[in-house]
Amino acid sequence: MASMSAADFGQFAQGSQESSEESQTSPSPFPSSMHESTANATWSRMLQGNKRFAEGKAEHPWQDKETRNMLTDGQKPDAAVLACADSRVPPEIIFDQGLGDLFTVRTAGQMIDDAVIASLEYAVKKLHVSLLCVLGHGRCGALQMAERELNDLIHAITAEADDSLETADLMDSLDERLAQSDSIVLRQAGISVWQARQAEADCLDDIERVHVAHTIEMLVERSEIIRQALASEQLMIVGARYQLDTGRVEVLSF
């Protein structure tokens, strides 16, 4: 199957925003099959948890000894979250969730490699999560590092060219050069920065949004399991960006 376009992600993300509010504030952690666990309901519950957190009304659900004991025989999280490893952005805290709720994978700048993909595929194929949230955030240091590396590369390209014509030629092939770079920061986040600049959306906030979209695109492109789960409507992917100043999660649609 061909890789999905950004528009495809938008359908899923927008669908999630139409979900109804739930009165229940937290899911029972196990077995969640006894509760409604559709992707929309899960996302709605996570956003409600984020609202509580942002308002200073976090309930810290399902973090007691009884829950811990109940989960010893297995887990059935409703959602997987791929987030930045930034110490200010722990998904369980900012979504006010408990033990057994979220299957979380975190790397700097939520960059993906084989281990990240294998972990998310485990969540989709074995744990049957119905929702995958790719979560970026404000003032992401990994993306600021990517900006610096990209600027250094562009500086080097300009320096190695004999004239402006050659510079233009080299810049035309920058996409290819980034894709083939030895640096994972340039290969993934550097491309996001470059895409944002080309769309004249190059403030850090916009770069962070573009990077979430680009990350989802790469995940779908690289994982047959995720593609199949999307196609069979067993999985919904949402993109989001956490705002440090407000504590709120901004839902992105592409």
Q: How far is the CB of 21 from Zn ion (least distance, A)?
A: 29
Q: Which residue's CB is nearer to Zn ion, number 42 or number 215?
A: 215
- 75 near 121, Cβ under 8 Å? no
The residue range among 7-15, 83-91, 122-130, 223-231 that interacts with Zn ion, by the rule CB under 5 A, is 83-91
Query: Mask: binding to Zn ion, 183-202, rule CB under 5 A, as x and -?
Result: --------------------
Q: Which of 13, 84, 230, 237 binds Zn ion (CB under 5 A)?
A: 84
Q: How far is the CB of 208 from Zn ion (least distance, A)?
A: 8
Q: How far is the CB of 94 from Zn ion (least distance, A)?
A: 13
d(CA 87, CA 196): 25
- Which residue carries 């359908």 as its tokens? 11
> Does 140 appear as a known binding residue?
yes
Count of H helices and E strands in the chain? 12, 5
| Cα distances (angstroms) measured from residue 209 to each of 135, 220, 248 | 10, 17, 15
The residue range among 11-19, 74-82, 136-144, 234-242 that interacts with Zn ion, by the rule CB under 5 A, is 136-144
Indicate if the alpha-carbon torsion angle 22, 23, 25, 29 is positive or negative. Answer: negative
236-242, strands of its sheet edge to edge: 102-107, 79-84, 131-137, 236-242, 249-252
The residue range among 64-72, 138-146, 176-184, 192-200 that interacts with Zn ion, by the rule CB under 5 A, is 138-146
The site for Zn ion, by CB under 5 A, has a size of: 4
d(CA 174, CA 15): 35
Q: Does 86 sit near Zn ion (CB under 5 A)?
A: yes
Interface with Zn ion (CB under 5 A): 84, 86, 140, 142
| Binding-site residues for Zn(2+) | 84, 86, 137, 140
